[in-house]
Amino acid sequence: MLWMAKSKSGSEVSLKKMGSPQQKIIVAVTGASGAILADRLIAALAGAGCGVHLMVSAAGELVTEHELGKKPEELWRGKVAAMHDVRDFTAPPASGAAGFAGMAVVPCTMGSLAAIAGGVTKNLIHRAADVVLKERKRLVLAVRETPLNRIHLQNMLAAHDAGAVICPPLFAFYHRPADIREAADHFAARVAALLGVEIPDMPHWGEGDQFAAG
């Protein structure tokens, strides 16, 4: 997959280059079900050489520990470039001058979606998303709730119209995942691709033998 954008000189540049080791990506984990999705995304981005700046909401900490059996600190501290307290509005993700390539909120609660869609910056996650949108960088929201009410749907449309990519964690089955981890890895690779980061060894549709007998 290849995205093209205009450089300052007006020539086309490949956003694939954003996957270089210097690329800084913000990952926010909020308190929706699906902490494994964050875990696989962090592993994928770090494995691809990105500098991941991580923040976890208070509810995100709770749900992560409940679902994965460990605190975010234990799970991710050694794997990311930085972990930021969501109350720290002086941290780099609070500023457009920090040079982040993009941000993913995985998983994203309806509460955080509402804050982002409404431009309400109560914590560093909401502020960082606000900054990413104003800087016209890629913001991916892995919104998770079911079923969805009218407010959820309206907030998704508002965030979409402001420039975010609404990317709910709906698993694909055509690659025949053996388990939840494999399905989560596939989803993580899709989110990474939306951020301009190619994950090695993750085949694109049409490159493998999806329709081969067996």
Ligand X SMILES: Cc1cc2nc3c(=O)[nH]c(=O)nc-3n(C[C@H](O)[C@H](O)[C@H](O)COP(=O)(O)O)c2cc1C
Residues that bind ligand X (CB under 6 A): 30-33, 57, 59-60, 62-63, 66, 109-112, 144-145
Q: For residues 23 and 112, which CB has a smaller minimum distance to ligand X in the complex?
A: 112
Q: For residues 23 and 155, which CB has a smaller minimum distance to ligand X in the complex?
A: 155
We find the least distance from the C-beta atom of residue 111 to ligand X, in angstroms, to be: 4
We find the least distance from the C-beta atom of residue 30 to ligand X, in angstroms, to be: 3
Q: For residues 18 and 126, which CB has a smaller minimum distance to ligand X in the complex?
A: 126
CB closest to ligand X, residue no? 31
61 alpha carbon, distance to own chain's centre: 17
Looking at residue 162, its amino acid is: A
Torsion sign (Cα): 170, 21, 81, 46: positive
Q: For residues 48 and 63, which CB has a smaller minimum distance to ligand X in the complex?
A: 63
Looking at residue 90, its amino acid is: T
Q: For residues 113 and 199, which CB has a smaller minimum distance to ligand X in the complex?
A: 113
Distance CA 130, CA 123 (A): 11
We find the least distance from the C-beta atom of residue 62 to ligand X, in angstroms, to be: 6
Question: Is residue 155 a contact partner of residue 117, using CB atoms and an 8 Å limit?
Answer: yes
We find the least distance from the C-beta atom of residue 123 to ligand X, in angstroms, to be: 7
We find the least distance from the C-beta atom of residue 63 to ligand X, in angstroms, to be: 5
